[in-house]
């Protein structure tokens, strides 16, 4: 039986990575075989491409080059990590996936929401998520959290201005409204334990 594929989405500092780790721990303790992975990255080749995407200054790549880098990394990630795990019956928890491309490159950076969605469906229809959790947080709070981690943990995307991050939040809300069967919005303005309990309830409610 194919494993379940759950993705975690949200703006910078939304806590999605922490919640992915907490859910992985809870599911593992419950006896679920799983892998925890991320984008960009998640396979040796994709991790090499990740360095090109997330390091440097915001203007390092134009949006088309950035989109192509993400697609190359995602293709390697799916073929070498995600699909083998799903086919083996493992659950896959992925910190960012196709919706990040729709939001960051498609909507906010202007490549075109429809264009990115078309590319994702055309290239990756064999590996679409069963459930996507979107962590919604005030962009100023999220950006402050991201910056508090220090320069060593900041990516190119953390360095874009407040308007950029405000548009990210709106874009995720737009995505959740267009695909409510797959996407569930989680209020990330709360404490870790409360959010985690909410995440577990959502996932358990869709386990079958």
pLDDT per position as a tens digit, 164-184: 889 999 999 999 999 999 999
pLDDT at 143 over 80: no
Q: What's phi and psi for 137, nearest 5 deg?
A: -145, 150
Q: At 98, which helix (H) or strand (E)?
A: helix 98-101
Interacting residues of 34 by C-beta distance below 8 A, sequence separation 6+:
3, 24, 27, 28, 90, 91, 92, 93
Beta bridge partners of 185: 134
Q: State how beta strands 131-136 and 5-10 pair.
A: parallel
Tell me what pLDDT residue 152 has. 53
Mark out the alpha helices in 14-97 (DSSP H runs): 16-29, 44-54, 63-77, 83-87
Instruction: Decide: residue 123, CB within 10 A, 0-12 exposed, 13-18 middle, 19+ buried.
Output: middle
pLDDT recorded at residue 151: 54
Rounded CA separation 64/190 (Å): 36
Tell me which of 207 and 24 has the higher pLDDT: 24
For the chain, the farthest-separated pair of C-alpha atoms sits apart, in whole angstroms, at 45
208 pLDDT tier (thresholds 50, 70, 90): low
| Residue whose C-alpha is closest to residue 203's, from 56, 46, 7 | 7
Q: What is the pLDDT of residue 17?
A: 95
**Overall average pLDDT of the 54-78 stretch:** 95
Percent of the chain having pLDDT more than 90?
Answer: 81
Per-residue model confidence (pLDDT) at position 13? 87
Pairwise CA distance, residues 99 & 116, whole Å? 9
CATH class of 5-205: alpha beta
Q: In sequence order, what DSSP letters do the residues of 117-147 get, joined into one string?
A: HHHHHHHHGGG--SEEEEEE--HHHHHHHHH
* pLDDT of res. 155: 78
Q: What is the pLDDT of residue 150?
A: 60
Task: Please write the tens of the pLDDT for every residue from 76-124.
Answer: 999 999 999 999 999 999 999 999 999 999 999 999 999 999 999 999 9
Q: Is 102 helix (H, G, I), strand (E, B) or coil?
A: helix
pLDDT at 154: 66
> How many angstroms separate the CA atoms of 13 and 149, rounded?
9
Mean pLDDT confidence for 69-78: 98
Q: Average per-residue pLDDT in the chain?
A: 93
Domain ranges of the chain: 5-205
Instruction: Measure the CA–CA gap between 94 and 16, rounded to whole angstroms.
Output: 10
Residue 153: the pLDDT is 57
CA atoms within 13 A on the CB side of 140: 0
């Amino acid at each position: 039986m194919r494993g379940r594929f759950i993705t975690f989405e949200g703006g910078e500092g939304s806590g999605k990575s922490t919640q992915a780790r907490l859910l992985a721990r809870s599911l593992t303790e419950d006896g679920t075989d799983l892998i925890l992975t991320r984008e960009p990255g998640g396979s040796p080749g994709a991790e090499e491409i990740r360095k090109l995407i997330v390091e440097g200054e915001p203007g390092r790549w134009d949006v088309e080059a950035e989109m192509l880098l993400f697609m190359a990394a995602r293709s390697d990630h799916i073929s070498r990590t995600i699909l083998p795990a799903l086919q083996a019956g493992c659950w896959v928890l992925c910190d960012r996936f196709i919706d990040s491309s729709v939001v960051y490159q498609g909507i906010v950076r202007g490549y075109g929401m429809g264009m990115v969605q078309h590319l994702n469906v055309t290239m990756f229809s064999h590996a679409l998520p069963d459930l996507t959790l979107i962590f919604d947080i005030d962009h100023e709070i999220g950006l402050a959290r991201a910056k508090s981690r220090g320069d060593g943990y900041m990516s190119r995307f953390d360095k874009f201005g407040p308007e950029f991050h405000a548009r990210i939040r709106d874009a995720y809300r737009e995505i959740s409204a267009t695909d409510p069967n797959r996407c569930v919005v989680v209020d990330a303005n709360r404490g870790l334990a409360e959010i985690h309990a909410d995440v577990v309830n959502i996932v358990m409610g869709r386990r079958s």
